[in-house]
A and B are shown apart, each in its own frame.
Chain A
Amino acid sequence: MLEIKDLKVAIEGKEILHGVNLTIKSGETSVLFGPNGSGKTTLLMTIMGFPRYQVTGGAIIFRGQDITHTSLDERARLGIGISFQRPPVVRGVKTRDMVLAAMKDKSQPDAVNTLAGKSDLLDFLDRDINHGFSGGEIKRSELMQLLAQQPEMVLLDEPESGVDLENIALIGRLINELLQKGSPMHGRNAMGLIITHTGHILEYVNARNGYIMLDGLIGCMGDPREILTEIKNRGYEQCAQCTFRSAQHVF
């Protein structure tokens, strides 16, 4: 389980998250909606532990352990993984190197080819990571690395953005594998927190809960598809009013 308690986060001294509460249980996937600049990416980056995001209050509890001040790499090794929205190009570091570096079970390096095959990235293994990759290739590469890493907490930042319709089904399949959607609920460990703007990914990935983030606070917990319909019909402004009502609740 991941518990976020009254989390306050600042970037370069400016508070972005003003007291976020959120709980994701083992085996569950949650979806985070919200307009640009509302703090969604900040929340994901803070859960992952990037040093730029300074926790000024509250706590992050992962599997019962307070990881609020645990380092980025230590969190990765504890079982938290993130799909970057715009990962950097690292010249000379091959995609294969990244998958191998991420691999939880290093006893089977041949598994890289299997993972690349199912991610349709076999031709990319010997290329510099992210160099000249299209939007869709970046997303698949990120998911391939996460499949190697096998994190228990999966953080996905707009996994469908920049992906053409042909590839979105493949992205959906990879996410479902990552979140162990093929296993019965009681046998699943993997948890997911997915940021989406368009909600397209919901056509391929089932999520239990949806949340809206507005101005650094979470409100409007509910069925993700219903929330999406609400946003489409009424926009985030109406949701904001709902947020004021629900901000008092602890999710």
Chain B
Amino acid sequence: MSSNLKDKAKTAANKAAAMGEDIDLAKFTRTAEPQQYETDPSRLDAATKNKMLEAGVILDDPRARTGTFIQIDNTPIHSSVKQDGVEVMPVSQAMQKYNWLGDYYWKAVAVDTDKFTASVELGQNDGYFIRTAPGTKTDFPVQACLYLSKANLAQNVHNIIIAEENSELHIITGCATSLGNEPGLHMGVSEFYIKKGAKVTFTMIHSWNPEFAVRPRTAAIIEDNGLFLSNYVLMKPVHTIQTNPVARCNGENATARFNSVLVATPGSNMDVGSRVYLNGKASRTEIISRAITTGGYITARGYIEGNAPDVKGHLECRGLLLENKGAIHAIPELKGTLPGIDLYHEAAVGKIAEEEVEYLMARGLTRDEATATIVRGFLRVDIEGLPPMLSEELQRAIKDSEKDLM
């Protein structure tokens, strides 16, 4: 099986992605010095911990975390878990432990999607495996950090997440780098399997640098009554990112929700979307994206396809231009293949309405205060289904980044 995958990957090794600017992989190195395993990640140096904290990964006081996985460059340096019924380990370890993992490996994302999936299969720099046993509900989120410290490195990670029947799993993933202004490339494949009645919330915060290239490839398969809730926050500079995670709501009453908050500073080029296939009867989805540019370029995509009776989908792309430079290109798409489906979208791109600014100024706020309040409100996404603690953390991450924006 593995050689088949490798052969298939090789056929796509030079295949450009369907979206986003092409990247010459030859410019990046694939090797990095192995990192030392750390049983107590609070002993990592303060600068590294701070960078990880910016991406929502708490190492000094992990009481509010069920488990932790950290990978620096190509080496998983820590994995631990505190709750029975929850597994957190490097995916290489999981492959050795479970023969059946092959049933999940490259089953949600096609290995020959493009040169980046091919690179992940051929490069094999580990990644995380997280699984909840049937009926287990995580007390606190599991946190995972994918970190890059070596300049010009291409990091290839493959993550597999399985929520068994009727389990509930909350994950917060922080992707960050210690590199100030040196280039790097992060390629991450994440495959989610959400079984009957299971619920997964996946909150991902990215904190890269202005020279960084990022190509995540994510897909989720959701069975009957399952829920996949994905929140993505990218408010720090990045050179280029292109991602278009896919959710397949294959089960009856399966639900997928995507929320994205994007801020593009000058020099940042973001092509971020979400794609949902409503294949199960009465399955539903909501895709909400908020995009702000202060000079960068954002393509905000959304695609919903209704292929089963009684499905519902709502897509909302809203973009705000704060400066007279940069651009936001919203591309909402809907496709229905049978009658009786209910899909709709809203998209709006523009500057802050003067009427709204004046409304707040009439209450005594200065123009700057009024603008800041409106921007803060724009970025506030009320996320249904996210536990209050995670919701607070997410809002805090957004608020911290707002300081750079104003």
Contacts and interface: CB of A to CB of B under 8 A. Distances in A.
Interface in A74-121: 76-77, 81-82, 84, 87-88, 90-94, 97-98, 101-102
A94 B373 CA distance: 10
Tell me the interface secondary structure of chain B in the complex: helix
B378 A92 contact: yes
B359 A87 contact: yes
Given A97-B373, A97-B377, A101-B373, A90 B359 contact: yes
Contacts of A72: 358, 361-362
Nearest to A90: B356
A242 B374 CA distance: 47
Contact of B364 (A92, A93, A149): A149
A223 B359 CA distance: 33
A75 B377 CA distance: 25
B363 interface: yes
B325 interface: no
A133 interface: no
Given A73-B364, A77-B364, A88 B376 contact: no
B42 interface: no
B363 A149 contact: yes
Contacts of B379: 92
Interface in A7-57: 48, 50-51
A92 B363 contact: no
B367 interface: yes
Contact of A82 (B362, B376, B377, B378): B362
Given A88-B353, A88-B355, A88-B356, A93 B363 contact: no
A68 interface: no
B81 interface: no
A92 B355 contact: no
B365 interface: yes
- By Cβ-Cβ distance, the 4 closest A-B pairs, closest first, are A92-B377, A93-B377, A102-B363, A76-B364
Interface of B: 318, 353, 355-356, 358-367, 369-370, 373-374, 376-380
22 contacts: A71-B361, A72-B358, A73-B362, A73-B370, A76-B363, A76-B364, A88-B353, A88-B356, A90-B360, A90-B374, A91-B318, A92-B376, A92-B378, A92-B379, A92-B380, A93-B376, A98-B360, A98-B363, A101-B363, A101-B365, A102-B364, A128-B377
Given A72-B358, A73-B364, A90-B356, 17 more contacts: A71-B361, A73-B366, A76-B361, A76-B364, A81-B363, A84-B362, A88-B353, A88-B355, A90-B377, A92-B379, A93-B373, A101-B360, A101-B363, A101-B364, A101-B365, A102-B363, A145-B363
